[in-house]
Chains A and B, each alone.
Chain A
Amino acid sequence: QSVLTQPPSASGTPGQRVTISCSGSSSDIGSNTVNWYQQLPGAAPKLLIYNGNQRPSGVPERFSGSRSATSASLAISGLQSEDEADYYCASWDDSLNGPVFGTGTKVNV
């Protein structure tokens, strides 16, 4: 099954802004919403952004999402040490009839 493409890693110093890209196709990002998940070591993924740019209750405003055509991005502004984690994008795949996940990006602070 196809996956969405993300850079393997991204890094920044505290207070900086980091952006993570997510590349897909017309059958996933191109026609469906994008979600972002944060996964701390040894933990289950946590929903960070849904429907492209919506934040669940409790997620800080410094996390934001955007989408354009068949790509999406997650931005983390005011980077903090606790943001060090793996980040995954996800989108519904019409051909899979289920969600497809990104390859994951490890953010180092």
Chain B
Amino acid sequence: QVQLVQSGAEVKKPGASVKVSCKASGYTFTGSYMHWVRQAPGQGLEWMGSINPNSGDTDYAERFQGRVTMTRDTSITTAYMELSRLRSDDTAVYFCATETAAVTDAFDLWGQGTLVTVSS
């Protein structure tokens, strides 16, 4: 079954870090970039960055540079997104997303989302 399964909800204090996992199955994990997109409550979608699971090369949106780290473990076909120095406005649902061989230049496979709540 082609799917992305993310880790569960997290509650963090301001200043802490959070690491979200995204387990891929049913397609070639190293064949397409893994992207991370977040959505604050009642807000739109925001791209955070991507990782090439094959090489490990990353590309981060400028506003997250220095706070976000994307990694992967090809042995278990899992991608990770770690966000540090959390603030209250980082409260959001974080999605991993990728494209399968069925489409080009679009995200046709999404994880279920992970709610990260930042609160003191």
Contact = CB atoms under 8 A, between A and B. Distances in A.
A56 B102 contact: yes
A1 B47 CA distance: 9
A103 B47 contact: no
Interface string A2-28: 010000000000000000000000000
A97 interface: yes
A109 B102 CA distance: 30
A30 interface: no
B61 interface: yes
Given A3-B44, A56-B103, A96-B47, A45 B110 contact: yes
Contacts of B105: 32-33, 35, 50-51, 92
A8 B94 CA distance: 22
Interface residues of B, number: 25
Given A88-B44, A98-B59, A56 B108 contact: yes
Chain A interface category by residue count: 20 to 34
Interface in B44-80: 44-47, 49-50, 59, 61-63
Contacts of B62: 1, 96
Interface string A43-55: 0111100110010
Interface string A89-109: 010100011111111100000
A104 B95 CA distance: 17
A50 B105 CA distance: 8
Nearest to B111: A44
B76 to A, nearest CB: 22
17 contacts: A1-B47, A35-B106, A44-B113, A45-B45, A47-B107, A47-B108, A51-B105, A88-B44, A90-B106, A92-B105, A97-B59, A98-B47, A98-B50, A98-B61, A99-B107, A101-B46, A103-B44
Q: What 10 A-B pairs have minimum CB-CB distances, sorted nearest first?
A: A50-B106, A44-B110, A101-B45, A35-B106, A47-B108, A104-B44, A98-B47, A50-B103, A99-B47, A44-B113
